[in-house]
C-alpha cells in the first residue's frame, strides 16, 4: 500500500528522532564544550542523512531543503519541496535537555497561495518528550486566557526581541484592563517546535521572535500551529511565504487567537516607544 505524504512525514521524523536519542545515549559523557559540540555535529549530520535517504526512497521525485544540505536551486521550480530541520534545538540537545525536535513538512506549489505554495504533511517530532505533533492530529479544544496564572510568552533564550520586556509590560496593562490580573511572564524554551508545543500543551499562550531564522526552523511548527487553529504569521499578522530564493524568515508570532492581536499590538507599541 502506498504511504500518504503524512505517513511519510511522521515516520521519517520519528525515525530521525529515535536516532538522535540513541546517538546521545551511546555517545558517552559530555563533560566539556568541545565534547558537546562534537555530539551536536554528529547528530545533525546523522539525522540529515537518514531523512534525505528515506525521502529519496519514498518520494524520489521531490526536492529537499534541509539545514544540513546544500541548497539546490531546482527547488524554486519544483512542485513539491520537503523543508527539513534534522535537529532543531541543537544547543539543548547537546546539553541533555528535552526541548529539541525534528521538523519535516512538505511544501506544495499553489499559485493562489502566499509565496506560491502551501505547507502540508507537517510533523514536529519531540523524541525526548515521547511526543509527535502533526497536522493530521485531532483538533485541540479552543481556549482563552488562563484564569489561575500569568499569561506566558515563549521566547528565545539567546535572541529574544529587544523590546520584549516593554511589550510584556504593555500587554499586562491591556489584559488587566480586561480583568486578567495575573500578569504576563516569559518562558525560556529551545527548539521552535518545542516552543509551539508549549502552546499546544496549554503551558503557554504565545511565542514571538523578531531577529530572524531560516525556513527549516519555522515551516513544520507553523504548519502544525495552523492546523490547530493558532495564529501563526509574521508579527504584523501578514502570512509567511516558504520555498523562497533566500529561505529566511524575518519574524514570527504564534499564539492562541484570544491573545495574538493584543500581543501584536503590544509589540508594535513597544517598538514605537510605548505610543
CATH of the domain at 78: 3.30.540.10
126, part of any domain: yes
DSSP structural state of residue 270? H
119 and 220 together in one domain: no
Instruction: Indicate whether 11 and 120 sit together in one domain.
Output: yes
Residues 70 and 182 in one domain: no
Domain housing 109 = 5-134
User: Does a structural domain hold residue 235?
Assistant: yes
Asked whether the CA dihedral 172, 173, 178, 179 is positive or negative, the reply is positive
pLDDT of residue 10: 98
Please indicate, yes or no, whether residues 58 and 128 belong to a single structural domain of this protein: yes
Rounded distance between C-alpha atoms, residue 273 and residue 51, angstroms: 45
Residue 207 lies in a domain: yes
Residue 142 lies in a domain: no
For residue 172, give the nearest of 183, 161, 156, 157 by alpha carbon: 183
Position 139 in a domain: no
> What's the rounded Cα separation, in Å, for the pair 39 and 93?
9
- pLDDT of 1 higher than 80: no
The answer as to whether 198 is a domain residue is: yes
In a shared domain, residues 115 and 171: no
Q: For cell 500500500, name the residue.
A: 1
Question: Which of the listed residues 109, 134, 159 is the one where a domain comes to its end?
Answer: 134
My answer on whether 124 and 199 are in the same domain is no
Instruction: Please tell me whether residues 127 and 156 are part of one structural domain.
Output: no
Cα–Cα distance measured from residue 55 to residue 25, given in angstroms and rounded to the nearest whole number: 26
In a domain, 242, yes or no: yes
Number of domains in the chain: 2
**Residues 161 and 219 both lie in one domain:** yes
Contact, 155 vs 185, CB < 8 A? Answer: no
Residues 6 or more apart in contact with residue 266 via CB below 8 angstroms: 167, 168, 170, 171, 174
Interval 21-60: pLDDT, tens: 999 999 988 888 999 999 999 999 999 999 999 999 999 9
Q: Do 207 and 234 fall within a single domain?
A: yes
Burial label, 60 (beta-carbon count in 10 A; 0-12, 13-18, 19+):
exposed
Same domain, 129 and 155: no
Q: By the 8 A CB rule, do 205 and 146 touch?
A: yes
**pLDDT, tens digit, 9 for 90 and up, residues 83-125:** 999 999 999 999 999 999 999 999 999 999 988 999 999 999 9
Phi, psi of 215 (to 5 degrees): -55, -35
C-alpha distance from residue 204 to each of 92, 185, 187, 198 (Å) = 19, 10, 8, 5
- The pTM of the whole model exceeds 0.85: yes
Q: What is the mean pLDDT of the chain?
A: 95
> CA-CA distance, 8 to 11, in Å (whole number)?
5
Residues 65 and 106 in one domain: yes
115 in the same domain as 15: yes
Residue 188 lies in a domain: yes
Q: In CATH, what number is assigned to the domain containing residue 254?
A: 3.40.190.80
Amino acid at each position: 500500500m502506498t504511504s500518504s505524504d503524512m505517513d511519510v512525514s511522521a515516520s521519517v521524523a520519528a525515525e530521525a528522532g529515535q536516532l538522535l536519542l540513541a546517538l546521545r545515549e551511546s555517545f558517552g559523557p559530555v563533560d566539556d564544550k568541545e565534547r558537546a559540540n562534537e555530539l551536536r555535529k554528529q547528530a545533525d549530520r546523522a539525522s540529515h542523512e537518514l531523512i534525505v535517504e528515506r525521502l529519496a526512497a519514498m518520494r524520489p521525485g521531490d526536492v529537499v531543503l534541509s539545514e544540513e544540505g546544500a541548497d539546490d536551486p531546482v527547488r524554486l521550480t519544483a512542485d513539491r519541496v520537503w523543508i527539513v530541520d534534522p535537529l532543531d534545538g541543537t544547543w539543548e540537545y547537546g546539553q541533555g535537555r528535552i526541548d529539541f525536535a525534528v521538523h519535516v513538512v512538505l511544501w506544495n506549489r499553489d499559485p493562489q497561495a502566499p509565496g506560491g505554495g502551501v505547507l502540508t504533511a507537517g510533523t514536529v517530532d519531540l523524541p525526548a518528550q515521547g511526543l509527535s505533533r502533526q497536522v493530521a492530529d485531532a483538533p485541540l479544544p479552543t481556549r482563552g486566557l488562563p484564569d489561575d496564572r500569568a499569561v506566558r510568552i515563549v521566547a528565545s533564550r539567546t535572541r529574544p526581541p529587544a523590546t520584549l520586556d516593554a511589550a510584556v509590560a504593555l500587554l499586562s496593562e491591556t489584559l488587566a484592563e480586561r480583568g486578567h490580573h495575573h500578569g504576563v511572564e516569559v518562558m525560556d524554551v529551545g527548539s521552535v517546535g518545542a516552543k509551539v508545543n508549549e502552546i499546544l500543551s496549554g503551558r503557554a499562550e504565545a511565542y514571538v521572535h523578531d531577529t530572524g531564522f531560516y525556513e527549516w526552523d519555522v515551516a513544520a511548527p507553523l504548519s502544525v500551529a495552523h492546523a490547530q487553529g493558532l495564529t501563526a504569521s509574521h508579527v504584523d499578522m501578514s502570512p509567511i511565504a516558504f520555498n523562497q530564493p533566500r529561505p529566511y524568515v524575518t519574524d514570527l508570532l504564534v499564539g492562541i487567537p484570544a491573545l495574538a492581536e493584543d500581543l501584536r499590538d503590544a509589540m508594535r507599541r513597544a517598538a514605537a516607544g510605548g505610543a
